């Protein structure tokens, strides 16, 4: 039996050495929480896509604003005609077989004067769409920070659990040395020694599991931050304990009102709904007549005329045309009706999307509030649990030293103390994370803090 315990011990130690060797062989980079968030924002695909889309929305906004100004185009062409050319000379039409080189040039300008408010509606819609894109980008940045917080705090919790496991293992090894001394003095039986050896071997396995979990969560954070292959972050610790519980005394009604006022995704859906409505109104303007103004300047040069290029282009052949145009839609194969139908469906779908987001906001706040209050209670309970477990372990250790208590009582007390310490660490980090989760649900999570 002793050989079996020693064999298991050596196997566990070998695994621990391999893990430690692997850790040392990797490159590391020191990083704090602010740096982790900045790195995630620069590499997160969803955030970068929304940032790129915002650039397009900005250009659309600028284009809609500039649509109130006239559009102008310069056109020019060169052509060569070979064969019979018709010329009017002294009142007669003369036909000659020559080569005629022609240069045409012109300037055209167009400006809508009245189109049932479509330009104004398009401008308002594009402005609202851009503002909605900004809100969406704000919410995406909050989501990135939330994801980093969850992974970052999990790694710190894993480190704390590894520390607790190591400390408990060292304590139990010291306990084993004491029992061996008691055995030599005839105060303990050989079974106590074997039981303690078994407990030490079990705690070595617990430590291996804790280190493995730490490595898995560290790799998850490294992958989310898109670090180079083989590079592992070394995290700067944070103090998860806070004397201020900002949301403890707030009711669900107050929290939901705060979320409605601050959630960027809720504001985004509201802006998009108004933007889609104005799009639909702008497309409906295609049913009504439109009035536009135009100006055209045209001139040309021909090689059949003996006068020079400058005289022909600027003095002889220039033509100026200034006028108004009226367009009355009568029948265009239901194209306008189709576009209006599409815009109406898009508007209705956006209303449904907004209602869905509103429900999600309420659900997020409700669940965050329940978890937050549970975390507050659990953090207080685990403090009492650790204090009681420490006192119990001290008392039973003393009774065991005096030979009054048996090994089972001592092992139970030690296990309860370790469990209490682990529960407390879990509760402290959970409460800290629930603070972040509550801010995320309320839309008050400040990325720049």
Taking residues 180-199, report their average pLDDT.
Answer: 82
| Domain tally, the chain | 2
Grade residue 259 by pLDDT with cuts at 50, 70 and 90. Answer: very high
Least confident of 9-23, 35-49, 193-207, 249-263: 9-23
pLDDT in tens, 104-155: 999 999 999 998 889 999 999 999 999 999 999 999 999 999 999 999 999 9
Report the DSSP pairing between strands 319-327 and 92-114.
unpaired
Which of 76-85, 109-118, 346-355, 372-381 has the highest mean predicted lDDT (pLDDT)? 346-355
What's the domain range around 307? 75-112+291-328
pLDDT greater than 50 at residue 18:
no
CATH number at residue 408: 1.20.1600.10
- Report pLDDT for 86: 64
Q: What does the pLDDT read at residue 17?
A: 45
149 and 244 share one domain: yes
Q: How far apart are CA 309 and CA 98, in angstroms?
A: 19
Tens digits of residue pLDDT in 397-446: 888 777 777 777 877 888 888 888 888 988 999 998 999 999 999 999 88
Confidence at residue 195, expressed as pLDDT on a 0 to 100 scale = 85
So what's the pLDDT on residue 407?
Answer: 73
**Residue at 13 is within a domain:** yes
Mean pLDDT to the nearest integer, 153-162: 92
Q: Are 301 and 312 in contact (CB under 8 A)?
A: yes
In a 13 Å sphere around the CA of 426, the CA atoms on its Cβ side amount to: 12
Do 63 and 79 lie in one domain? The reply is no
Best CA proximity match to 360, nearest among 242, 244, 269, 245: 269
Alpha-helical (H) ranges within 26-44 are 33-43
Q: Are residues 38 and 14 in the same domain?
A: yes
Q: Of 66-70, 84-88, 94-98, 426-430, give the lowest mean pLDDT range.
A: 84-88
Is a pLDDT exceeding 70 seen at residue 92? no
Is 42 inside any structural domain?
A: yes
Lowest mean pLDDT among 177-191, 225-239, 358-372: 177-191
Of the residues 308, 328, 348, the one at which a domain ends: 328
Residue 170 shares a structural domain with residue 247: yes
**Average pLDDT for 371-380:** 91
Phi then psi for residue 207, to 5 deg, are -65, -40
Mean pLDDT of 222-238: 89
What band does 82 get if pLDDT is binned at 50, 70 and 90? Answer: confident
Do 182 and 254 have their domain in common?
yes
Please tell me what DSSP assigns to residue 317.
S
Query: Is residue 84 assigned to a domain?
Result: yes
Are 317 and 238 members of one domain?
A: no
Q: Does one domain contain both 124 and 269?
A: yes
> Model confidence over 283-327: pLDDT tens digits?
999 899 999 999 999 998 988 778 888 888 888 889 999 999 999
Q: Is residue 449 part of a domain?
A: no
Are 233 and 91 within one domain?
no
The token pair that represents 441 in the structure block: 């649900």
Per-residue pLDDT band for 88 (boundaries 50, 70, 90) equals low
**Residue 6: predicted pLDDT:** 45
Residues 151, 266 within the same domain: yes
CA angle, 162 as apex, 31 and 172 as ends, to 5°? 155
Per-residue pLDDT, 222:
93
434 SS3 class: helix
Reply yes or no on whether the pLDDT at 369 is more than 60. yes
Tokens of 178: 């004491």
Cβ pair 389, 423 in contact under 8 A: no
d(CA 155, CA 233): 10
Statement: residue 393 has pLDDT above 90: no
Average pLDDT, the chain: 86
Q: Is the pLDDT of residue 12 over 80?
A: no
Question: Both 90 and 237 in a single domain?
Answer: no
Angle, helices 190-224/2-25, rounded to nearest 10 degrees: 20
Q: Quick count: other Cβ atoms within 10 Å of Cβ 69?
A: 8
Q: 86 lies in a domain?
A: yes
128 and 168 in one domain? yes
Tokens encoding 265: 């995704």
Residue 312: the pLDDT is 86
**Is residue 43 domain-shared with residue 153, that is, in the same domain?**
yes
CB 119 within 8 A of CB 68: yes
Token output for 368: 């965050």
Looking at the domain assignment, is residue 433 inside a domain? Answer: yes
Contact criterion met (CB below 8 Å) for 411 and 168: no
Cα torsion 248, 250, 251, 257: sign: negative
């Amino acid at each position: 039996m002793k050989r079996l315990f020693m064999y298991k011990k050596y196997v566990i130690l070998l695994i621990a050495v391999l893990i430690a060797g692997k850790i040392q062989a990797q490159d590391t980079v020191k990083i704090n929480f602010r740096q982790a968030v900045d790195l995630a924002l620069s590499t997160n695909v969803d955030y970068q896509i929304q940032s790129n889309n915002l650039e397009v929305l900005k250009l659309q906004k600028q284009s809609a604003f500039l649509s109130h100004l006239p559009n102008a185009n310069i056109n020019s062409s060169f052509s060569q005609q070979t064969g019979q050319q018709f010329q009017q000379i002294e009142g007669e039409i003369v036909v000659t077989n020559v080569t005629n080189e022609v240069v045409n040039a012109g300037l055209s300008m167009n400006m809508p004067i009245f189109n049932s408010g479509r330009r104004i509606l398009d401008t308002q819609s594009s402005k609202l769409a851009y503002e909605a894109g900004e809100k969406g980008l704000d919410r995406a940045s909050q989501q990135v920070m939330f994801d980093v917080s969850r992974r970052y705090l999990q790694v710190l919790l894993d480190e704390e659990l590894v520390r607790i496991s190591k400390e408990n293992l060292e304590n139990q090894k010291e306990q084993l040395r004491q029992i061996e001394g008691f055995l030599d003095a005839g105060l303990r039986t050989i079974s106590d020694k074997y039981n303690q050896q078994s407990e030490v071997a079990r705690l070595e396995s617990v430590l291996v599991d804790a280190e493995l979990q730490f490595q898995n969560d560290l790799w998850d954070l490294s992958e989310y931050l898109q670090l180079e292959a083989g590079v592992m972050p070394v995290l700067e610790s944070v103090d998860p304990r806070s004397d201020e519980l900002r949301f403890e005394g707030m009711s669900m009604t107050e929290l939901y009102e705060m979320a409605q006022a601050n959630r960027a995704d809720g504001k985004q859906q509201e802006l998009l709904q108004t933007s889609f409505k104005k799009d639909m109104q702008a497309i409906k303007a295609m049913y009504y007549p439109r009035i536009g103004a135009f100006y055209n300047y045209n001139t040309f040069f021909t090689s059949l005329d003996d006068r020079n290029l400058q005289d022909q282009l600027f003095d002889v052949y220039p033509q100026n045309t200034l006028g108004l145009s009226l367009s009355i839609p009568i029948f265009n194969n239901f194209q306008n009706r189709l576009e209006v139908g599409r815009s109406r469906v898009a508007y209705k779908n956006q209303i449904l999307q907004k209602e869905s987001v509103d429900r999600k906001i309420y659900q997020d706040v409700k669940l965050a509030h329940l978890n937050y209050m549970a975390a507050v209670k659990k953090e207080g309970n685990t403090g009492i649990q650790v204090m009681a477990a420490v006192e119990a372990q001290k008392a039973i250790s003393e009774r065991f030293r005096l030979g009054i208590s048996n090994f089972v009582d001592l092992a139970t007390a030690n296990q309860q103390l370790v469990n209490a310490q682990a529960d407390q660490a879990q509760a402290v980090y959970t409460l800290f994370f629930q603070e972040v989760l509550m801010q995320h649900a309320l839309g008050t999570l400040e990325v720049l803090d």
